[in-house]
Amino acid sequence: MHLVELTEFDFHPRLAHSAGVSLVMFSGPDCGSCRRLETVLPALIAGRVAHLYKVDVQVSTALAREYEVFHLPSLFLFVDGRFHAPLHAESAPGIFAAAIEHALREPAHEEP
């Protein structure tokens, strides 16, 4: 699985047509942590997430404001195209998987 870039113009329509669990990573080109996470993210989400998306906050500043992104990388889970929860987890395989499972068991959060 690879990261598919989204912009302000295709973010909502693309997610609306994404069945199952989607993970969106807000990142920036100057973010070293983002680049590191990008390399390991496909392995961390294998079997748990159907779609993997990335938003460049320098290109899509309105989306970054809409989702109240204050630090990078920022991760958000969507289920069947609807916002479910922010995801906060260390990028260690067991910890990341447990965070996804926990977030999906909880009721959906209100969209920022």
- CB count in 10 Å sphere of residue 12: 13
* pLDDT(98) > 90: yes
Give me the helices (H) in 17-55, please: 32-45
Token duo for residue 27: 């990142």
Arithmetic mean of pLDDT, 5-24: 97
Contacts of 59 (CB under 8 A, 6+ apart): 7
pTM over 0.85? The answer is yes
Domains annotated for the chain, with CATH where assigned, are: 4-105 (3.40.30.10)
Contact call for residues 98 and 45 (beta carbons, < 8 A): no
pLDDT per residue as tens digits for the range 28-83: 999 999 999 999 999 999 999 999 999 999 999 999 999 999 999 999 999 999 99
